[in-house]
Amino acid sequence: MAQADKYSIRDLKKDFPNDDICLEYIFSNLHAKTCSCGGRYNRVKGRLKFQCSKCRFQIAPLVGTIFEKTSTPLTLWFHALFIFSNAKSGVSSKEMERQLGVTYKCAWRILKLIRESLKQDGLPLKGDVEMDEGFFGGKGDAGKNNEMLSVVMNKKTKVIGAVERKGRMRAKAVKDVSAKTIATFLDHNIYPIDTRLLTDKSNRYNLASWGYNRQSVNHGNKEYVRGDVHVNNVESFWSHLKRSIKGTHKAISKKHFQSYLDAFVWHRNNRYNDRERFGTLLGALLQS
């Protein structure tokens, strides 16, 4: 596992001490410093614009980005991104409000915009891919003989997750975990060719995974690992997600679950390098 490259608040303040430098960074993230005419872009004094030294063409880098109409200083935005980027167990609006010294409404809005920029891409997974279902939230007791099980399960948010060994993760909130839903997930997210699908022995997969090379462990018989067949990587994602929701967010409504899920998947897929992750997050926000 690669050593995480740390990125501290001191690094952030050194890299981005003021709004001018933040704006320079945003410009270079979106545009080339050299114009097609051969001139160089320089900042227009006192304005949020850059101008070519030869043909005088102007570019306003914030136009069309989520920073365009914001009254929040760029340094504060960068600080918010820093907090979000480093919070691997998520960050609540309340926490953001405290750390940034902004109103709750402002903190909530910033977090919402960040999460919305982290939608998962549609590039299918391949290779050794683990797949499993997770169940979140919903109160109630299934009863002694599980007579209330279906009622309790109905209240829970259901998620299907898949992860490449040493690779990318994908997770989607779904309305149910029927064979049909699983088949649709597979179809959209996992290449059948050159893939070994690793699951538990649930019957739902028998029909759904037709056409896939599938190997499974029998959780019902307390078999969790057989050789290199297991779903431990997806399961550790589920338990991290459960702990994080409990510790940070308390509860997440079904309606918003997918955007939180996107953020957690993004964190997992970018977990090794703190500095790179900050840059990737800013890039995602600028593109959204």
> Residue numbers of the site for Zn ion (CB under 5 A)?
35, 37, 39, 52, 54-55, 57
Distance CA 199, CA 219 (A): 10
Give residues with Cβ within 8 angstroms of 150, minimum separation 6. none
Residue 18 or 58: which CB sits closer to Zn ion?
A: 58
Nearer to Zn ion, 60 or 183 (CB): 60
Closer to Zn ion by CB, 37 or 148: give it.
Answer: 37
- How far apart are CB 57 and Zn ion at their closest, in Å? 5
Least Cβ distance, residue 122 to Zn ion (angstroms): 37
Nearer to Zn ion, 39 or 124 (CB): 39
209, HSE (Cβ side, Cα atoms, 13 Å): 23
Q: What is the helix (H) or strand (E) element at residue 180, kind and residue range?
A: helix 179-189
The minimum distance between CB 43 and Zn ion, in angstroms, equals: 15
**β-strand partners of 157:** 136
User: Using CA atoms, how far apart are residues 110 and 91, in angstroms rounded to an integer?
Assistant: 12
Shortest Cβ 25–Zn ion spacing (Å): 21
Q: Which is nearer to Zn ion, 4 or 37 (CB)?
A: 37
Residue 42 CB, nearest distance to Zn ion (Å)?
11
Closest Cα partner for 262 from 161, 189, 167, 187? 161
CB-based burial label for 166 (10 Å; 0-12, 13-18, 19+): exposed
